[in-house]
Amino acid sequence: MEQLRVLFWGYDETAKSSLTALLSLSNVQVVGVVVPPNRDESMIMKIQEIARNTDTTVYCPKKLSTDTEFLRTVERLLPDVYIVDSYSMLIPKDFLDLPTIGAFNIHPGRLSAYRGAHVLNWALINGESEITVTVHCMTEIFDSGDIVLEKSFKVSFLDTILTVFDKVSHVNRELVKMLVSSIFNGTLERVPQNEQYAKHYRVRKPEDGMIDWDMTNIEIYNLIRALVPPWPGAFFCKDGEKIIINEAYPISFANNSPPGTVVAKSSNSFCVITGSQCLLVKRASCMDFSFGEMLRDTD
């Protein structure tokens, strides 16, 4: 085999890095790029541009489970492997059976502990200091196949979801090259996931970002940095208005005021008592609060 025939599936920022890495390899022929039909067009356009700049055909099947025409198209492409990064729909068994070597998904979390959706946001919310990106064999069940590669990186206390995505993009480029090299060298090993530690994370909704001032300042800080724009943002409600916080930091400050009370105010920040210690708010959609004000909805 002189070249590995790869059908790539994916669409977002990390997928752009993975696809670019694949296209840079002389021993890889990307025979097509498959994008999901249920994602924002502006995000899809970015990966379409990368593909079309290299004369790579882009496919957007609407429903894989009933699209026999696209199944025949993939058969004619003669893929050796699928490499999947952020494809948002389940790939049925009929499709998974087509590549001669296998189908591999790049998952932005440690498996089996971080299965499911929005796992990078969940990892920050959980206060993880390290994140592992996992390459695994694909099955008909999301995130359940054997692990073939892993690579971890440190998460600093100041990282946000944006900087974490940047780090994942860098790791994905390395993993793509490692995967291709392992396939050519015949050194790819498959390790079953440990079901004892399996945990599935659900899709997050905008309302999940609501701040409870009874949480600790660290918990609130983690929620805020996990949901900075373009994510919906962590927020609290005051007199019926939704206030989004985009930048805040936990500080040590002892005070007997109830959680949610503004205990300090300056021209460009304010401090709120939480369930443990205090939160210094630097950027929010409204900063006009007074000393002693309670930042909770009034009934």
Which of 178, 200, 222 is at the close of a domain?
A: 200
User: Is residue 229 one of the residues assigned to a domain?
Assistant: yes
Banded pLDDT at 298 (limits 50, 70, 90): low
Query: Which tens digit of pLDDT belongs to each residue from 228-270?
Result: 999 999 999 998 899 999 999 999 988 899 999 999 999 899 9
Say how many domains are in the chain: 2
User: Is residue 291 one of the residues assigned to a domain?
Assistant: no
- 45 and 183, same domain (yes or no): yes
Range of the domain at 113: 4-200
- 232 and 248, same domain (yes or no): yes
Average pLDDT, the chain: 95
- 215 and 84, same domain (yes or no): no
User: Is residue 21 one of the residues assigned to a domain?
Assistant: yes
User: Is residue 252 one of the residues assigned to a domain?
Assistant: yes
User: Does residue 112 have a cis peptide bond before it, meaning omega lies within 30 degrees of 0?
Assistant: yes
- 66 and 39, same domain (yes or no): yes
- 43 and 163, same domain (yes or no): yes
User: Is residue 293 one of the residues assigned to a domain?
Assistant: no
The secondary structure of the chain as a DSSP string is --SEEEEEEE-SHHHHHHHHHHHT-TTEEEEEEE--SSS-HHHHHHHHHHHHTTT--EE--S-GGG-HHHHHHHHHH--SEEEEES--SPPPHHHHTSSSSEEEEEESS-TTTTEESSHHHHHHHTT-SEEEEEEEE--SSTT-SPEEEEEEEE--TT--HHHHHHHHHHHHHHHHHHHHHHHHHT----B---GGG--EEPPP-GGGGB--TTSBHHHHHHHHHHS-TTS--EEEEETTEEEEEEEEEEE-----SPTTBEEEE-SS-EEEE-SBSEEEEEEES-----TT-B-S---
- 249 and 109, same domain (yes or no): no
Instruction: Give the mean pLDDT of 89-110.
Output: 97
- 155 and 211, same domain (yes or no): no
Which of 179, 200, 221 is at the close of a domain?
A: 200
pLDDT above 80 (res 299): no
Which residues, listed in sequence order, are joined to residue 234 by a DSSP beta bridge? 245
User: Is residue 232 one of the residues assigned to a domain?
Assistant: yes
- 178 and 96, same domain (yes or no): yes
How far is Cα 67 from Cα 61, in angstroms, rounded to an integer? 7
User: Is residue 250 one of the residues assigned to a domain?
Assistant: yes
User: Is residue 299 one of the residues assigned to a domain?
Assistant: no
- 165 and 232, same domain (yes or no): no
* Nearest of 153, 19, 179, 145 to residue 87 by alpha carbon: 19
Which of 200, 229, 249 is at the close of a domain?
A: 200
CATH of the domain at 141: 3.40.50.170
- 192 and 50, same domain (yes or no): yes
Instruction: Give the mean pLDDT of 43-63.
Output: 92
Q: Is the pLDDT higher at 278 or at 2? A: 278
pLDDT of residue 41: 82
Q: What is the pTM of this model?
A: 0.94
- Give the amino acid at 209: G
- 153 and 255, same domain (yes or no): no
- 188 and 61, same domain (yes or no): yes
